[in-house]
Amino acid sequence: MSRPCPCGAKATFDKHCQPIIAGKAFADTAERLMRARFTAYSLGDVDFLIKTTAMPQRENLEADELEDYCLSIRCISLKILATEAGGPKDETGMVRFHASMQVDGKRRLHAETSHFHREEGQWVYESEEEEGQEADADQDPNA
Ligand SMILES: [Zn+2]
């Protein structure tokens, strides 16, 4: 049985995020991991979410809390807006996205810039910047 992938990819779930979440394939790019994590949120696959979070943040994750969070939301759609690096030959990557979800019956748009890096060769989720809080340290008006 094939059904659409929750991440919105053209490929079906069993050919896209499913093998990555099941550990049968690895995400070759940061975007691919981002998509699989979105799908894992929508499925409530807490183990995968914890496994793909970078140390030391992983140690702060509570499986119960994460599970409650997954149950409290409904992931509707994912839109990748931009990526930087995060390719098969990169060690770090950034993915900017909008995730549309339903929280307490209300539609909510979650805008985030996620940072990823590799741990033992595999992509892991490192940190997020909520939109509007992006530090623009590079821009010096006196330069
Ligand atoms: Zn997918």
CA of 9 to the centre of ligand 1 (A): 5
* Domains and their CATH numbers in the chain: 13-130 (3.10.450.50)
Q: In what order do the strands lie in the sheet with 92-103?
A: 73-85, 92-103, 106-119, 122-130
CA of 8 to the centre of ligand 1 (A): 6
Chain mean pLDDT for the chain:
91
Q: What is the pLDDT of residue 129?
A: 82
**Is-cis flag, bond preceding 88, omega within 30?**
no
Main-chain dihedrals φ then ψ at residue 98, nearest 5 degrees: -115, 125
Note the pTM of the prediction, 2 decimals: 0.88
CA of 24 to the centre of ligand 1 (A): 14
CA of 13 to the centre of ligand 1 (A): 6
106-135 pLDDT, tens per residue?
Answer: 999 999 999 999 999 999 999 888 665 444
45-81 pLDDT, tens per residue?
Answer: 999 999 999 998 999 999 999 999 999 999 999 999 9
The percentage of residues in the chain with a pLDDT greater than 70, rounded to a whole number, is 90
CA of 68 to the centre of ligand 1 (A): 22
In which element (H, E) is residue 76 found?
Answer: strand 73-85
